[in-house]
Amino acid sequence: MEQVVVCPKPFCKADYDDPPSQANYDERLAAIRGEGVPQDVDSRFGCSSVIRGIRCHYAFATSPAVREICISHPEFARARNARLIMSNVIPEDMDNSDKTTQPYCIWYPDFATEDTYRQIAQRFPSMRYQVGRACAAAGYDSLYAELDLLPDVSIAEEARESKTEGGRAIFDAVMAVPYRYAVMNDYTLSITLENPKFPAYLNGDTEVRWKLQQREPLPLAPFGYGWPYEKHWPGIEEDDRLTDGERVRLEGHTHLTPEEAQLLYTPLPQDLPTVNKTLLIQMAAYEGNVERYARLVRPFEMSDVELSCVLRGIYHHTMFARFWAAEIEQNSWRAQRVPGREIPPMRGGKYNSLRAAISARRIMINDIQEFYNGWPDDAPQPLLTWFPLKPSIYTLEELANRAPSMRQAVAIACIFCDYEELYKKIDIPPDLDLKLAAAQSSNPFYLQDIKRKVAEGDLHLQGSLYVDWMEYPMEIVEYNHLLPRLQDELHFDKHTGAPHGSDLETGSVQRYVWSPPELLKRIERCELGFLPDPSELEEPSPENGTK
């Protein structure tokens, strides 16, 4: 299979970037503005800043300093060649044997003329699909027809979004054939010219041009304890979507339309319509829907919100837990998307929060195979083993006997399940976690027992750093807002470090799908960001007059 890989390592800037000094930041900002090359061109954001500056500024792209760094950095050479093409200049150095200086995206931030793209296709035949994609974005349907390309799904999605007559003609031409191919891959920045995947379907995996207009500010300070950008996808421009200003989000693309929202509860069509599918991915994970999640998910690192959705899906759905157990065992690309940091923080490998959730689900369904031979020393131990299902008292007793290191978790489960006799039988020393659990119980025995043991033993309670979530209700949907439009992604309602997704605010999504369009329109018209009293939304009657 011949494959033109524009960027051999699309995640080559995946390592954590050191927090920049003010001098580093200023140099990177200058690079974005096309004013100079920073000293740290080999750091992640130093590199991205240079690429952004080259792609946006012709004078910078043709400067001696940029020419020099292009010799040893193919990513800069690709950016420079893209800028030349978009400025209607045919590059002279794109026919190297490995094609590593041929850019993937040659249609943003600017279009070249149709004649320039025609010359590129004639001079560099391996770039015909990049030219076809540019035609789809710009609406050059005549040139597209000359290229005689396979009907590619990325070109179809780009053409659909171009909102031009030529783009519509290209889209109709691609969709008119019985089946389509996946020649271009925006995630791997590769073009498969021989034996491309088919049949392929429109799946929302194309970074269409309007998405490139959404930009992120150049980072100055780290978030938390490090740069949270591991395994980050740099995008088809390879510039991390950086800008020298504030974050840019396009009006009209931050919320789902009513038609897009219907995809949350209807079968997915073979070819997805235009949609920002982040919310679809998150809700598929949240609800443990293996098929929807596996189809929709993107290959770059999952966000903290998606990770929490996955954990929630595992805790609530056995088949989703089984799916993830296999993914982790195989170290699949989906498993590799799990971020290095853990939600909640756990010792050990990057999969430990998922592995703990899987073990918890198996305990809750009374699967003693999970701990029949004890608990491995290197395996993460779940603390939450009683929600959303309460395991049998016999399962918890077996767990305490076969895995002594889990006795504290068993004691906490006994409190929440109100297995008083087993709690007495285990009889472990009290700690803060037990006391916190006992305070939530309607049975006063547990808290009284802990207080008695503390007083008799003159003990100072110690406990975990990450169990504040036990103070919050797990079964009560607290969020009461009903918004007239759905945002395109979920958010955390609170940050308790809960291992089962209860931090996520999904109430507005779940209520939205039940709301008739007339109600949503009235809420939006009244500028009410919540579900008001029904009387406020009653249609005015002739007797009452207009409200």
Contact 475, 501 (CB under 8 A): no
Beta bridge partners of 382: none
- Chain centroid to Cα 236, Å, comes to 17
Considering 410, 444, 471, which residue would you say is the last residue of a domain? 471
- Whether residue 200 is found in the same domain as residue 289: no
What is the DSSP pairing of strand 197-200 with strand 180-182?
antiparallel
Q: How much helix, strand and coil, in percent to the nearest 5, is found in the chain?
A: 45, 5, 50
Domains held by the chain: number: 2
Q: What is the spatial distance between Cα 238 and Cα 228, in angstroms, rounded to a whole number?
A: 18
Tell me, letter by letter, the H, E, C secondary structure of 368-432. Answer: HHHCCCCCCCCCCCCCCCCCCCCCCHHHHHHHHHHCHHHHHHHHHHHHHHCCHHHHHHHCCCCCH
Query: Is 205 inside any structural domain?
Result: yes
Find the mean pLDDT for residues 248-257: 83
Query: Is 398 inside any structural domain?
Result: yes
What is the DSSP pairing of strand 184-185 with strand 180-182?
unpaired
Query: Is 99 inside any structural domain?
Result: yes
Could you report the per-residue pLDDT of 189-234, keeping only the tens digit for each? 999 999 999 999 999 999 999 999 999 999 875 443 334 444 457 8
Q: What is the spatial distance between Cα 109 and Cα 190, in angstroms, rounded to a whole number?
A: 20
pLDDT of residue 19: 61
Residue with tokens 């509860």: 265
Which long-range contacts link 448-452 to residues 24+ away (Cβ below 8 Å)? 449/423
Burial (0-12, 13-18, 19+ Cβ within 10 Å), 415:
buried
Residue with tokens 């008119």: 176
Find the mean pLDDT for residues 243-267: 89
* Listed residue (212, 258, 213, 254) closest to 235, CA to CA: 212
- Whether residue 236 is found in the same domain as residue 326: no
pLDDT of residue 466: 52
- Inform me whether the pLDDT recorded for 70 exceeds 80: yes
Query: Is 417 inside any structural domain?
Result: yes
Q: What is the spatial distance between Cα 192 and Cα 187, in angstroms, rounded to a whole number?
A: 13
Considering 471, 492, 524, which residue would you say is the last residue of a domain? 471
Type of residue at 306: E
- Whether residue 169 is found in the same domain as residue 91: yes
- Whether residue 15 is found in the same domain as residue 106: yes
User: Per-residue confidence at 99, pLDDT binned at 50, 70, 90?
Assistant: confident
- Whether residue 296 is found in the same domain as residue 229: no
- Whether residue 22 is found in the same domain as residue 167: yes
- Please report, for residues 222, 258, 397, 488, 495, the alpha-carbon distance to residue 505 in angstroms, rounded to integers and kept in the order given: 26, 20, 35, 13, 11
Query: Is 255 inside any structural domain?
Result: no
With pLDDT > 70 as the criterion, what percentage of the chain qualifies? 84
* Listed residue (227, 224, 274) closest to 253, CA to CA: 274
Residue with tokens 């794109």: 94
Q: What is the spatial distance between Cα 279 and Cα 157, in angstroms, rounded to a whole number?
A: 19
- Inform me whether the pLDDT recorded for 440 exceeds 60: yes
- Tokens describing residue 202: 């429109």
Q: What is the spatial distance between Cα 48 and Cα 50, in angstroms, rounded to a whole number?
A: 5
User: Per-residue confidence at 97, pLDDT binned at 50, 70, 90?
Assistant: confident
Considering 443, 471, 499, which residue would you say is the last residue of a domain? 471
Mean pLDDT for the chain?
87
Q: What is the spatial distance between Cα 90 and Cα 68, in angstroms, rounded to a whole number?
A: 19
- Whether residue 53 is found in the same domain as residue 151: yes
- Whether residue 195 is found in the same domain as residue 315: no
* Listed residue (509, 508, 501, 507) closest to 305, CA to CA: 501
Query: Is 511 inside any structural domain?
Result: no
Residue 184: CB partners within 8 Å, gap ≥ 6? 129, 133, 152, 154, 155, 190, 191
Q: What is the spatial distance between Cα 35 and Cα 39, in angstroms, rounded to a whole number?
A: 13
DSSP structural state of residue 502:
T
Could you report the per-residue pLDDT of 354-397, keeping only the tens digit for each? 999 999 999 999 999 999 999 998 899 999 999 999 999 999 99
- Least confident range from 223-227, 243-247, 275-279, 366-370: namely 223-227
- Please report, for residues 103, 104, 155, 173, 205, the alpha-carbon distance to residue 190 in angstroms, rounded to integers and kept in the order given: 10, 8, 14, 23, 14
User: Per-residue confidence at 253, pLDDT binned at 50, 70, 90?
Assistant: confident
Could you report the per-residue pLDDT of 458-515, keeping only the tens digit for each? 667 766 645 667 776 666 666 557 778 888 888 877 666 677 777 788 888 988 898 8
Query: Is 386 inside any structural domain?
Result: yes
Contact 278, 491 (CB under 8 A): no
Structural domain boundaries enclosing 154 = 3-210+222-243
What is the DSSP pairing of strand 197-200 with strand 216-217?
unpaired
pLDDT of residue 275: 86
- Whether residue 287 is found in the same domain as residue 365: yes
- Tokens describing residue 221: 């300070």
Q: How many helices (H) and strands (E) does the chain have?
A: 24, 11
- Whether residue 23 is found in the same domain as residue 117: yes
Query: Is 256 inside any structural domain?
Result: no
Could you report the per-residue pLDDT of 107-160, keeping only the tens digit for each? 999 999 999 999 999 999 999 999 999 999 999 999 999 999 999 999 999 999
- Whether residue 311 is found in the same domain as residue 200: no
- Whether residue 298 is found in the same domain as residue 184: no
